[in-house]
Structure 1
Amino acid sequence: MNEQWISDVINKAMEIGRQQISRGNVATYIPELGKARKEALGLCVSLPDGTAYKVGDTNIRFTIQSISKVISLCKALEVRGAETVFSHVGMEPSGEAFNSIVELDLQSNRPFNPMINSGAIAVESTIIDYVSFEEMLEYTQRLCSDPGITLNRQVYHSEMNSCDRNRAIAYLLKSKDIITTNVDNSIELYTKMCSLNVTAESLANFALLLANGGICPGSGERLLKEETVRIVLSIMLTCGMYDGSGRFAVEVGVPTKSGVGGGLMAPVYGRCGIGIYGPALDQKGNCIAGCEMMKHLSREMGLHMFQDRQSGC
């Protein structure tokens, strides 16, 4: 692989991304998120040999938000097993917004998948009696190879003060016996996980771990079971970009999870991990710059999972 070539591709991706920022807006439904600098943008591509290509704001701390749903799903699968987890939540794309409640009333008792709020809250309820937040924080630090990850208390309190919709979702789930544990504890864990401070580099590290089948490339230690990785990546591909997941899968072809804090986490199986930070969001709640950057990276580096490898990492 030509290092100069990959640097050129990444720099071009940043140029493309910056052109999109003016078309997006930072999230304001959580007041603390509205304070983010809209123009911020960072990209990190991490390779199994330890090389990391970084450009822009890759070390700015921001809250992980919905990307934490992937971490919680990993933990639930490891601790409770797939049969138990998927008795509480489905595996299908919803076609609805990430905070939608419609499908629970009209189509299904179970949330459609673990990547929307209702599904993630249901997942948290399966592990609330088995792990503490402190253990989940340490788990996140290990998966992201980032001991600097901490709880952003300002964002956490801001979210707890504006999470009436998530509470409504949780109590609806309890009324349907999907949540059988304490609702408030499930909401608290869910919100704390969303409020963890990460960086684009943290996300690239986590993506690389998933891309490497759950084995940490640096130490060779297995942190996730193969089955967990297979399930998580499959759901990320079909559901990870909210109601834009189908188009993203066609155009990019890389399992990716977004968060309204501006993050994108994209594992390219067997090849690399990509982390992006850009708080300007599109109408679906995805990083508007990051989506265009991922299209460029996929096309130029041959990352689409249904495309022959001709170049790239």
Structure 2
Amino acid sequence: MNLNDAIQECWSKIDEGQVATYIPALAKVDPYQLGVYLFDVTNDKKAEAGASQVRFAIESVSKVITLLYAIERLGLSAVEEQVGTRQTGFPFDTILNMEITKETHPLNAFINSGAILISSLIEEQDGLSPFDQILEFSRKICNDPAITLNEEIYQSELRTGDMNRSLAYYLKAKEVLTNDVTLSLDTYFKQCSMMVTCQSLANLGAVLANDGIAPWNNERIISSEAATYTKSVMMTTGLYNESGTYSVRIGVPTKSGVGGGLVSASPNHYGIGIFSPALDHAGNSVAGLALLELISKKLKLDVFRY
């Protein structure tokens, strides 16, 4: 398919969303950007168009990387003891589901409470802080040594992160989060402030699509078990309360971030990275999802249909 034509077809969707304004550094991002990168794991071919090499804040897409790293470090059973795999029915930054239904742990790893808890599980190792380990792992699994921390976005996250602090202290008070709250939050804010491109995310998606093996060098980076588990959770909870809607419309495991990024893993076919910063009410990229839906239809990627 012609990716440039696809971008033109979806461009008008940008006007239906707006950039994340609650994080000051993200509020300054130009909404009129749309880029895509495809990595075909069957033949190692790549294709890209639009703003595919623009660096942007990874934000909640980092939750995929941290979840994978926690599984590799601690084992899947240990992670499953801490977070569930269910949809919440509530916004990603609330604890209401735990209060109303008396849950003892966050319902999934992609809502903020679950992601903060996952980040808290990673402890210092070999002199590396939890964030330094996540950064190192991100560079490896995204095949992108240029991933760095954006200090301005990190400071912006720190200044506006009181809701996330409340989630962390709630988990601490419930004796669910057992490590240091300040360090856990700092790790979380920093992981969300890493700068990536569509290509970085396509590489991440390609590892997941290829059952945990990096298609660029055939090295196994994560276990098959970790890849399968994470793709499943991406399908059911990766787009927050819109996950069910887009499972029907797109049918490809996907995770979004309020920086405008999308990572998708089409099993045994493609890793896909998309960027467009204008968001819908749920915090997902409007034009990005329109483009992903078009790609899924054109390339017949819907796992429930093909």
The TM-score, its normalising length taken from structure 2, stands at 0.96
2:61 maps to which of 63, 67, 84: 67
Distance (whole Å) between structure 2 residues aligned to residue 67 and residue 251 of structure 1? 20
CA RMSD in angstroms, aligned pairs only: 1.1
2:109 maps to which of 104, 109, 114: 114
Q: Match for residue 57 of structure 1?
A: 51
Q: Give the number of equivalent residue pairs.
A: 301
Alignment of 1:79-118 (within 5 A): 79-107=73-101, 108-118=103-113
Partner SS for 2:304: coil
Q: Percent identity?
A: 41
> Is the counterpart of residue 24 in structure 1 residue 17 in structure 2?
yes
Letter in 2 for 1:46: F
Distance (whole Å) between structure 1 residues aligned to residue 90 and residue 46 of structure 2? 35
Cα shift readout 1:46-94 (whole Å, capped 9, x = no counterpart):
1123321110011111010000000000011111112211221111111
Q: Match for residue 198 of structure 1?
A: 196
Distance (whole Å) between structure 2 residues aligned to residue 294 and residue 61 of structure 1? 19
Distance (whole Å) between structure 1 residues aligned to residue 140 and residue 243 of structure 2? 28
Residues 4, 49 of structure 2: 8 Å contact kept: yes
Alignment of 1:85-234 (within 5 A): 85-107=79-101, 108-130=103-125, 132=129, 133-234=131-232
Residues 240, 282 of structure 2: 8 Å contact kept: yes
Cα shift readout 1:93-140 (whole Å, capped 9, x = no counterpart):
112111122112112121110011000001111113456222211110
Partner SS for 1:15: helix
Partner SS for 1:44: strand
Letter in 1 for 2:72: E
Distance (whole Å) between structure 2 residues aligned to residue 13 and residue 68 of structure 1? 26
Partner SS for 2:214: coil
Contiguous gaps of at least 5 residues in structure 1: 1-5, 309-313
Q: Match for residue 311 of structure 1?
A: none
Distance (whole Å) between structure 2 residues aligned to residue 248 and residue 147 of structure 1? 32
Residues 209, 269 of structure 2: 8 Å contact kept: yes
Q: Match for residue 275 of structure 1?
A: 273
Partner SS for 1:29: coil
Partner SS for 1:275: strand
> Is the counterpart of residue 35 in structure 1 residue 28 in structure 2?
yes
Distance (whole Å) between structure 2 residues aligned to residue 285 and residue 17 of structure 1? 18
Distance (whole Å) between structure 2 residues aligned to residue 113 and residue 25 of structure 1? 26
Residues 37, 48 of structure 2: 8 Å contact kept: yes
Cα shift readout 1:7-33 (whole Å, capped 9, x = no counterpart):
x2x233212321100111000101000
> Is the counterpart of residue 15 in structure 1 residue 8 in structure 2?
yes
How much has 1:295 moved relative to structure 2? 1.3
Distance (whole Å) between structure 1 residues aligned to residue 123 and residue 111 of structure 2? 18
